[in-house]
Amino acid sequence: MRPGIAGRLFALLALGWATVGAAETLSGYAYLTPEMQELQDDEFGNPGQLTVDQGHTLFAAAGARRQSCSSCHGDGGSDLDSKRIASYPLYDPDHDRPLTLRGQVLQCWAERLGNPPLAYADERALQLETFVRSRARGETVAVEIDENLQPFYDAGEKLYRTRWGQVDIACHQCHDYHAGGTFRGQVLSQGQSNGFPAYRFTTGHTVGLQERITECLTSLRAEPYPAGSEEYLSLEVYMGVRSNGLKIETPAIRY
């Protein structure tokens, strides 16, 4: 029996759905093996938990003014607003640039607690960011772009689509066209940022999003940008919006 008009229409709709389905936003979690997913979900076995604990210690440690992060945000960050955490990067009007969660932690550390400022790439900054972000585990990423952030979003999108290095590949060509494909024995993800800071299985370290981008650029034999640079902040804005709707998984496990 040949398919009638309805059958053909249905087939066409199914095809359309499959095409749209391919563009569905998926967390890097979806591309992990079941064993790796189990490891991420295991609160005690997850190796990224070490960085969370280190951040927790710093969070509770008194600063130069005899105050700690806990003085304002509660013991263990009990008063932190997970919805707000999920909305970073925000716009920082004082410096006219995006404010990432790490940037916020660094500001509090120096300005509120009166501590000597930490470098953006400082290990302690990463630990604090990891701890704070882990308090919002399960919250839905919701980065909003206003007219102030728009230019940074646009710059970030442009960078995401720019080829880099001697290898001459952009983020976009791997993570937009080939997510789900196999490369060097590993499954490529969509390059979503919801799990970061994340524990990288291949290096055995917890890394923030910017450190992860630096690792990508280095493997492309490109000159990375400095931590906290406008280029990386813009990429974080663009990638944050790309991950809207996904759940925060920090500390996630990634390859």
Partner 1 sequence: MDDFSMKTVKGYAHRLLRLFVVVSLAAAPLDLYAAAVGSSDAADTSYYDWQVQDYEIREPLGGLVGVPERGARIASDQHAGNCYACHVLPLAADEFYGNLGPPLAGIASRQSVGMIRLHVVDQTRFNPETVMPGYYRRFEQLNRVAEKFRGRTYLTAQQVEDVVAWLATLHAEPTP
Residues lying near partner 1 in the complex (CB under 8 A) are found at: 162-169, 173-174, 177-178, 181-185, 188, 217-218, 221-223
Report residue 253: phi and psi, to 5°.
Answer: -105, 130
CB crowding 189-198: b at 16 or more within 10 Å, else e: bbbbbbbbbb
**Closest to partner 1 by CB, 199 or 255:** 255
The CB-of-32 to partner 1 minimum distance in angstroms stands at 18
CA distance 27 to 186: 16
**Closest to partner 1 by CB, 83 or 161:** 161
**Closest to partner 1 by CB, 86 or 222:** 222
The CB-of-91 to partner 1 minimum distance in angstroms stands at 27
CA distance 185 to 212: 19
Residue pair 208/126 in contact (Cβ under 8 Å)? The answer is yes
Which of 103, 110, 111 has the alpha carbon at shortest distance from 129?
103
Burial of 5 by CB count in 10 Å (0-12 exposed, 13-18 middle, 19+ buried)? Answer: exposed
The CB-of-177 to partner 1 minimum distance in angstroms stands at 6
The CB-of-225 to partner 1 minimum distance in angstroms stands at 9
The CB-of-238 to partner 1 minimum distance in angstroms stands at 18
224 upstream amide cis, omega within 30 of 0: no
**Closest to partner 1 by CB, 71 or 164:** 164
Tokens 């304002």 belong to: 72
**Closest to partner 1 by CB, 44 or 183:** 183
Choice among 72, 108, 174, 216 that is catalytic: 216
**Three-state DSSP class for residue 69:** helix
Active-site residue 69, yes or no?
Answer: no
Which string of DSSP letters, residue by residue, matches 197-221?
SEEETTTTEEE-HHHHHHHHHHHTT
Active site residues: 216
